[in-house]
Amino acid sequence: MREEKTKSNIVNRYKIFLLTLTLMMAVAFAFIYIIELEVRSSKFETIEINEKRVVSLENDYIGNEFRMILSDLNYIDSIFDDGLTASHTFEEIKNEWMHFSSERFIYDKIRFIDTDGDERISIIHSNDEAYIVPDNELENKINRYYFQDIMKIDKEDIYVSPLDLDMSEGEIVEPYKPLIRFAKQHYDNYGNSKGVLILDYRARDLLDAFKKITYNSNGVMALLNSDGYWLSAEDNELEWQFMLENQSDITFGNRYPVEWNAILKGKTQFLSTNGLFTSEIVNFETMIDSRNGENILFGDGHWYIVSIVPRDGEYGSLFVDIQSDFILNLLKDDIVYFVLIIIISVLVAFLLDKDRSAYSKIKYYSEYDALTKVYNRRAGITRLNDMFPINDRRHFLVSICFVDVNGLKLVNDLLGHKLGDELIVTVVDVIRKMIRDNDFIIRMGGDEFLIVFDELDPSGAENVWERIVEAYEQINNTEFRPYLISVSHGVVCHDNKESTKVDELIMLADEKMYEEKNILKSNLDVIRKS
């Protein structure tokens, strides 16, 4: 029974140790979790703000560039208004336009095309030099899509063609030359259209500047046309797919269908399974001064500026919206801290266990007798007092047996204290085996003990005592120790009918014990004769 109790204590001790360790690690993890959640959320909020700023910066840049080009278009139209209606001044205008192109160097061509589609003036800027195209090399552009579109616009409208690549004889010119055509019809003083003014804007500088601004982004920037094709991408292979054969399915919408649908619905910043998406529409209509009554017709619809901060990228650990991913990133990023926490937790749990063990020992020895492992006088009497009900209406019955070991001093004097201690331990061990689990023993001091029988009347207590005495006789008859076990006892009982106090009960039991002891003294012989 004692071995089972010892094993149970060891198991309980390990359980307490593991519980302490688990609690400490849980508290440490919760602390790191809360701190990291706050820190990463704050950093992620900074990224969100930054991406909005960069996207807005890109939009502002495109807007400023377009406003400058539209201003140039209106400048050319107003300055040369009179000269364009009289053919004899074309040579003078050509020279002025060539000078303007040399100064601006952002236009691939500046042209005037009459209503029949014939080029009347064409200035080309190439190799850092502008020159006038000879009359015999001027072409008819009546079948070009942009000329047909321009001739359909109203008087105050400005046409902006799609951003695409320059083509010659049906083939894309290499190296790629991105162009946007800004155009408006020119009218004489009578309101008759005389043709169209066209600026072929070199968009390479705009796209290069767009990519330079993306360096401020924490993600991947993209410039998309209205169909979701890449006009500018971090991966150059994604660009201009709409102009290449068999590449029409390479679109932003096919790669990010959910996100593209959200962007088309007007969402400007949102989280998806792929990351943080921030977008703005390039609203070209805002680039026109509405006070002049002008309207802009953009052949490519809206452009979209999109920033993507991917979950699997550099800032993936800052995404905290998916708890499982956040915890995994937390464990991965802070593995060193968690290892330290485990080590510290084990150490602290070990020290606490040691402290608890030391405390348990101190508590144990403050309550139990070191030799017999039964209650000492103070703890035993306290427990006995606690058994007495506060309310007399509750049924209560207790019997106490005062026990005295006969001849202990004689054994100590003649056989030594070692055998005296053995005698005491034997007396207690026999009693412990015979009483019930709810009964207990108190060492009152020296060779005196008290047995407390809970809910047992004197008759029942005496029956137990008879079995105890029989066990002592069995030891005396079989083990042949140098001493004989002899014990005196006295039993008293207490119930609700009496108001006797604990001290009085002990005194009564003591008196009864001495009555028996006096009877036994006449024939008492505890030292075995050889």
Mean pLDDT lowest among 351-360, 409-418, 466-475: 351-360
pLDDT for residue 87: 52
Domain ranges for the chain, please list them. 20-333, 368-521
Candidate CATH numbers 3.30.70.270, 3.40.190.10, 3.90.25.10, 3.40.50.2020; the one for domain 368-521: 3.30.70.270
How far apart CA 431 and CA 467 sit, in angstroms, is 9
Q: How does the average pLDDT of the chain come out, rounded?
A: 85
| Nearest alpha-carbon partner for 491 in 524, 460, 518, 458 | 458
Per the model's pLDDT, the better-predicted residue between 130 and 392 turns out to be 130
For 313-366, write each residue's pLDDT tens digit: 889 888 888 777 777 777 777 777 667 777 776 777 677 667 666 666 677 777
pLDDT at residue 443 above 60?
yes
For 3-43, write each residue's pLDDT tens digit: 454 555 566 666 766 777 777 777 877 887 888 888 889 99
pLDDT for residue 84: 52
Share of the chain above pLDDT 90, in %: 43
pLDDT at residue 85 above 60?
no
CB atoms within 10 A of CB 241: 16
Per the model's pLDDT, the better-predicted residue between 253 and 528 turns out to be 253
Cα–Cα distances (Å) from 124 to 128, 162, 195, 290, 297, in that order, read: 10, 20, 19, 31, 25
pLDDT for residue 327: 78
Mean pLDDT lowest among 77-86, 102-111, 237-246, 279-288: 77-86
pLDDT for residue 439: 93
Mean pLDDT for 496-516 is 82
Mean pLDDT for 54-74 is 90
Answer yes or no: CATH 3.40.50.720 is held by domain 20-333: no
Model-level pTM greater than 0.85? no
Q: Indicate the SS3 state at residue 163.
A: coil
Mean pLDDT lowest among 86-100, 226-240, 257-271, 478-492: 86-100
How far apart CA 70 and CA 56 sit, in angstroms, is 21
Q: Could you tell me how many residues make up the chain?
A: 530
Per the model's pLDDT, the better-predicted residue between 1 and 179 turns out to be 179
- The residues pairing with 159 across neighbouring beta strands, listed in sequence order, are 183, 297
pLDDT at residue 291 above 50?
no
For 261-275, write each residue's pLDDT tens digit: 999 999 999 999 999
Mean pLDDT lowest among 74-88, 251-265, 480-494: 74-88
pLDDT for residue 1: 44
ω into 162 cis (within 30 of 0): no
For 205-227, write each residue's pLDDT tens digit: 999 999 999 999 999 999 999 99
